[in-house]
Amino acid sequence: MTGSIHVGLAAMGVGIGVGLTGLGMATAVGRNPGAFTQVLVHGILAIAFTEAIVFYALFLLGH
């Protein structure tokens, strides 16, 4: 078995991070359903920035 541990670690961290963001979004919408759109926009942005980390790791893998 071969592989790179750093992509795995990045994917693990990103999974936790995206999950926490989702938790925050769900809690926020639950408390204030009127703010759905704003929560969605910020949540999607946060998820995008979190997700980018795994792509940095993936691209480091190539070298």
Partner 1 sequence: MRNRYLLMSILALMFSAALASSAFAAETAAPAQAEHEGVPLKPAPIVEIGKFAVTNSMLVTWIVAAGIIVFAQIATRTIKPIPSGIQNFWEWLVESLYNFLEGIIGRELVRKTFWFFATIFIFILFVNWFGLIPGVGTIGWGHYDTNGAFHIDRPLLRGGNADLNMTTAMAAIFFLLWIVWALQAQGVGGFLRHLFAPKGETTGVLKILMAVIFFMVGWLEVISILFRPISLSFRLFGNIYAGESILEAMSTMNPYLAPFLPLPFYFMEILVGIVQALVFMLLTAVFTMLIAQHDHGPERAH
The rounded Cα 28 to chain-centroid distance in angstroms is 17
Q: Could you tell me which stretch among 2-10, 19-27, 54-62 binds partner 1 (CB under 8 A)?
A: 54-62
Taking the C-alpha atoms of residue 38 and residue 8, their distance in angstroms, rounded to an integer, is 32
Contact 43, 20 (CB under 8 A): no
- Give the one residue of 9, 48, 60, 61 binding partner 1; rule: CB under 8 A: 48
User: Is residue 39 helix, strand or coil?
Assistant: helix
- Give the one residue of 49, 60, 61, 62 binding partner 1; rule: CB under 8 A: 49
Decide: is 26 part of the binding site for partner 1 (CB under 8 A): no
**Footprint of partner 1 on this chain (CB under 8 A)?**
37, 40-41, 44-45, 48-49, 51-52, 55-56, 58-59
